[in-house]
Amino acid sequence: MHATLIGLALALAPGLPDAPESVATTNGVVVNGAAAPVFAIKATTVVVGDGNVLENGIVVIEGGRIRDVGVGLTLPEGTNLVEHDGVLTAGMVAPQSNLLPASERTDSTRPFLEGAELRFGFDPQTQACEQAAAAGITTAVLTPAASNVVGGLTAVVKTHGGKVVKGKAHLALSVNAAAANTDRYPTSYSGVIAELDARLGEGAEGVYAEARSGALPVLIAATTEADAQRAMALAKRHGLRGALLGARRVGEQQVESLRSSGLAVVFDSFGPGLGERSINAMLAVVEAGLPFAFELTDATRFRFDGAALVRAGADADTVWKAMTSGAAAIAGVGDRVGTLRRGLDADLLLWSGHPLDLTSVLEAVYVGGERVHGGDDQ
């Protein structure tokens, strides 16, 4: 107890000489003692992400992580406080993305790439990453194109700074028309399913065994209702958990199947011209209380997809939760990002109003406690 208190004092006193290299703070986060930047943000509204909303809440950030969240917190003397007249939320998370360029997401040589790791194609210096971070999408899953039956192992990355939060995060599968490709075996859905059944069935090995045991979640590309039906049946047969990708047409007719499958849905990015059928299908998923999230294709459009659902009648707080903590859970990093909670990464967004009100402006973005976009100089 003594030691931790001293540690905290050291951490909060950047001026002290002879500080140890790293010390433990009260919340167990190890930071670089002397250099640990501590600051706090106070906002009119703090959307915690777990359903709670704090009026005049304060988030204390230390060493890139959230040290404390609350109302009326007593800040150590000298703590730099950013006062924000608006809404503070966690960064958005995309469990499906095109952050890898198409040429790096599509390997047409073989239909089964269970050993391939998407993170090796990741280049954080791209415009796509920069735009995503600037738009408030601070975490994304690198997913492959749907043209391979087994597309590889995904990675969860920060869109700014290039940090890989989690490698081998999911096994990416596809059961859609692109996987049943007429240029090579398998050319049919039957072939796709037969091959997946053979790999994921009893006697499964390697990553397939991990997927079968539930240790490794899957992301299954399933575009049409029929794809989704096949994917859900596959998941049920082999006890897979995870999500359907690009499945915004998983219609009203399939809500019960979806519920019993335990799979989440990642809606493919749709834009403003979406038909009533897709909207209704998505609303059915939202209203059934099932887990969902959104695909990242165009960073400037990401928030608009959520807003479009709200405009169609979905509850704004439900949708926002899905875009942050819900998506983080689907991405498999709910213990790192998506919620404003002690110990989680300080990926923060400062908005002028509710983030799903399209007149709201994203005024600043923090990734790992670092301000990467907007805001006044501290």
Residues in the site for another protein, rule: CB under 8 A?
Answer: 177, 180, 182-194, 224-226, 229-230, 232-233, 253-254, 256-257
Nearer to another protein, 175 or 211 (CB): 175
Q: Distance (Å, rounded) from C-alpha 152 to C-alpha 155?
A: 10
Measured from the CB atom, the residue of 177 and 204 that comes closer to another protein is: 177
Nearer to another protein, 112 or 189 (CB): 189
β-strand pairing of 362-367 with 348-351 = antiparallel
**Residue placing its CB nearer to another protein in the complex, 107 or 195:** 195
Q: Please state the closest distance from residue 173 (CB atom) to another protein, in A.
A: 14
Kindly tell me which of 71 and 194 has the beta carbon lying closer to another protein: 194
Instruction: Provide DSSP, 220-256.
Output: EE--SHHHHHHHHHHHHHHT--EEEES-TT--GGGHH
Shortest Å, Cβ 207 to another protein: 22
d(CA 48, CA 362): 17
Nearest in space to 66 (alpha carbons), one of 368, 352, 342, 366: 342
Q: How far is the CB of 224 from another protein (least distance, A)?
A: 7
Task: Give the position of tokens 């960073």.
Answer: 299
Q: Minimum distance from CB of 217 to another protein (Å)?
A: 22
CB of 151 to another protein, least distance (A): 18
Closest approach, Cβ 360 to another protein, in A, equals 38
User: Residue 298's CB: how many other CB atoms inside 10 A?
Assistant: 16
- In eight-state DSSP terms, residue 324 is I
Query: Cα separation of 117 and 182, whole Å?
Result: 25
Q: Which is nearer to another protein, 182 or 359 (CB)?
A: 182
Q: Which of 177, 236, 246 is nearest to 186 (CA)?
A: 177
E strand or H helix at 304: helix 299-311
* b/e code 81-107 from CB counts within 10 Å (16+ = b): ebebebbbbbbbbbbbbbbbeeebbbb
CB of 288 to another protein, least distance (A): 15
The neighbouring-strand residues paired with 69 are 59
Handedness of CA 93, 100, 167, 146 (dihedral sign): positive
**22 or 181: whose CB is closer to another protein?**
181
Which residues of the chain form beta strands (DSSP E)? 23-24, 30-31, 38-47, 53-62, 65-71, 80-90, 92-94, 96-97, 137-142, 150-153, 155-158, 164-166, 171-174, 218-221, 242-245, 264-267, 292-296, 348-351, 362-367, 370-374
Nearest approach, Cβ of 154 to another protein (angstroms)?
25
**Cβ closest to another protein, residue 224 vs residue 318:** 224
Distance CA 122, CA 155 (A): 9
- 255, 288 contact by CB (below 8 A): yes
| Closest to another protein by CB, 230 or 341 | 230
62 vs 227 by CB, closer to another protein:
227
Please state the closest distance from residue 96 (CB atom) to another protein, in A: 22
- Rounded to the nearest whole angstrom, what is the least distance from the CB of residue 352 to another protein in the complex? 43
Name 82's bridge partners. 41
